[in-house]
Amino acid sequence: MSDLPLRAVTRTAKLAALPLGFAGRTALGLGKKTIGRSAEAVANEIQTRTAEQLFKVLGELKGGAMKFGQVLSIFEAALPPEIAGPYRATLTKLQESAPPMPVATVHRVLAENLGPDWRENFRSFNDKPAAAASIGQVHKAVWKDGREVAVKVQYPGAGKALISDFNQLARVGKLVGVLFPGADIRSILDELKHRVREELDYTVEAASQSAFAKAYADDPDFLVPEVVAQSGTVLVTEWIYGIPLAKIITDGTQEQRDRAGLLFARFLFSAPPRCGHLHADPHPGNFRLMEDGRLGVIDFGAVDRLEGGMQEEIGTLMRIGALGDPAEIVAACRAEGIIRDGVEVDAAALAAFIEPLAVPMRADTFKFSREWLRDQAARVTDLRPDNVVRYLNLPNDYVLVHRTIGLGTGVLCQLECEGPFRAEAIRWVKGFAPGEPTGEDAATSGPAPED
């Protein structure tokens, strides 16, 4: 634990200070309201100051705090412009960077996992990290066979720090709710806490990445780097270049945005039927637009294994959601057995829950935008899955899949891209368009939709 950039007592103090700061700002706001300021102006000021403190503290921490911040950063597109603007750069930085480990610590971890003669595995090794994530950092090196590689080194004590952070972050739910009132923060934290146990095991990550690399080998649209070696808390994979999606979000041309967005959606849709896995961490730091037009995908620590691809019930729900009319949605759900006999649901709530997932699939092309996402967030006051989904007859994987698609939608809105996303759903999601070839069948049924 002492090897982490901030000691436990410091980390805990910073996290604990967040709700205290919020309480102070709320009291200040109430005081200003009494002297004539409008409630809207006070609320905006509280949101702005809350965002400043929250992102500043999360950006200084690793472990669970940084991972939580990465998830929140994807929702950035739903924030009001006056709040989102000043912090967009901070959020992008949070997605891809963090203070590095001391070089001596890196060398010690490599020796403990690859052996005292670890340098013999490399022709060269750059001590300066190329990137940092929530539980480890990446170094660029040249493997002994001449391949450029990424060496992922886990922070000593990362597991203990992560659990500690999640326990502390549970105390700031009210604070985060000020910025993201539609997000189920407790559910997000619970899911992250569960998933991170797998992420700490690089053996699992190596197996997942190998499965993706095999499924997408020689693919004209995607590049998944091969696993070169794995031992303990060290993972070595092929190095890939390309423009980070975060860079395209801030500086990309519309052509780059559209290309990256279409491939991003295609990857999320196609992975379950092609390799039985779902990439469950779709934040911009894990994707690169290559010079040859392919989308490079990295970091397979958060992966869900889905039997039978994207379950037919999920595709059916997407198709039904595209109907638009709440009464028709409920009737179709009953006809498909998604709502069982004798179970009553709020039609408007169900339609609102499905809307962000279904709207982009109604027309041949759709334009994702921050404005559209803000409108969805403002119109739907409660997007928490456990409020509606608990009444539906859906597979256990549905909540994770819905959350992943929701996060992916946030990225597409950050890209502000336009494309034929309905065709991608028809091609890959079983149940979305009955009678159409999907999944593995689609791969042999003719060319992909025009990009």
pLDDT tier at 178 (50, 70, 90 boundaries)?
Answer: low
Going by C-beta distance under 8 Å and a sequence separation of 6 or more, which residues neighbour residue 49? 25
d(Cα 176, Cα 179) in Å, to the nearest integer?
Answer: 5
d(Cα 354, Cα 337) in Å, to the nearest integer?
17
CB-count burial class (<10 Å; 0-12, 13-18, 19+) for 221: middle
Helix (H, G, I), strand (E, B) or coil at 388: helix
pLDDT of residue 9: 42
Q: Report pLDDT for 57.
A: 58
Residue count of the chain, please give it. 451
Q: What was the pLDDT predicted at 28?
A: 43
Q: Where are the beta strands (DSSP E) in 218-374?
A: 222-223, 227-231, 234-238, 243-244, 277-279, 287-289, 295-297, 303-305, 366-367
Is 181's pLDDT higher than 70? no
Which residues have a Cβ under 8 Å from the Cβ of 447 and sit 6 or more positions away?
none
| Phi/psi of residue 443, nearest 5 degrees | -65, -20
Q: Mean per-residue pLDDT for 103-125?
A: 97
Instruction: Quote the pLDDT of residue 6.
Output: 44
**Of 179, 226, 184, 229, nearest in space to 202 by CA:** 229
Element housing 132 (H / E)? strand 131-132
CB 102 within 8 A of CB 108: no
Where in the chain are all domains bearing CATH 3.30.200.20? 103-158+199-238
Lowest mean pLDDT among 2-6, 42-46, 148-152, 199-203: 2-6
For residue 71, is pLDDT > 70?
Answer: no
Please identify which residue in the block is written with the tokens 């990009």. 451
Return the H-helix or E-strand segment holding 150. Answer: strand 148-154
pLDDT score at 362:
86
Tell me: pLDDT of 83 over 50. Answer: yes
- Closest by Cα among 282, 303, 286 to 407: 282
Helix H segments across 345-397?
347-358, 370-379, 385-388
First to last CA, the chain: 48
Share of the chain above pLDDT 70, in %: 61
Check: CB of residue 301 under 8 Å from CB of residue 154.
no
Told to judge if 281 belongs to the known catalytic residues of this protein, a careful annotator would answer yes
- Residue-level pLDDT at 90: 53
Q: Per-residue pLDDT averaged across 5-13, rounded? A: 45
User: Quick one: which of 255, 283, 253, 254 has its CA closest to 93?
Assistant: 283
Do 368 and 409 form a contact (C-beta atoms < 8 A)? yes
Q: Among 74-88, 198-212, 395-409, which range has the highest average pLDDT?
A: 198-212
- Averaged pLDDT score across all residues of the chain: 76
Q: If you compute the radius of gyration of the chain from its CA atoms, what whole number of angstroms results?
A: 22
- Cβ contact 408:270 at 8 Å: no
Q: Which fold has domain 103-158+199-238?
A: Phosphorylase Kinase; domain 1 (3.30.200)
165, 184, 258, 281: which is the annotated catalytic residue? 281
Between 366 and 51, where is the model more confident?
Answer: 366
- 354: nearest Cα among 391, 332, 393, 326: 326
More confidently predicted of 171 and 128: 128
What value does the mean pLDDT take over residues 204-220? 96
Nearest Cα to 157, choosing from 85, 233, 98, 103? 233
Q: What is d(CA 83, CA 85) in angstroms, rounded to the nearest whole number?
A: 6
Sign of the Cα torsion 416, 417, 418, 423 reads: negative
- Smallest CA-to-CA distance from 374 within 176, 181, 185 is with 181
The secondary structure of residue 34, as a DSSP letter, is: T
Q: What is the mean pLDDT of residues 233-252?
A: 95
* More confident of the two residues 56 and 97: 56
Q: Exposed/middle/buried for 177, CB within 10 Å: 0-12, 13-18, 19+?
A: middle
Which of these ranges, 33-47, 249-263, 322-336, 357-371, has the smallest mean pLDDT? 33-47
Q: Which residue has the higher pLDDT, 309 or 206?
A: 206
Token pair listed for 57: 């503290």
| pLDDT tens sequence across 320-330 | 888 878 899 89
* pLDDT tops 70 at residue 231: yes
Calculate mean pLDDT across residues 251-259: 97
Query: How much is the pLDDT for 382?
Result: 47
Average pLDDT, integer, range 392-396: 69
Whether the full predicted model's pTM is greater than 0.85, yes or no, is no
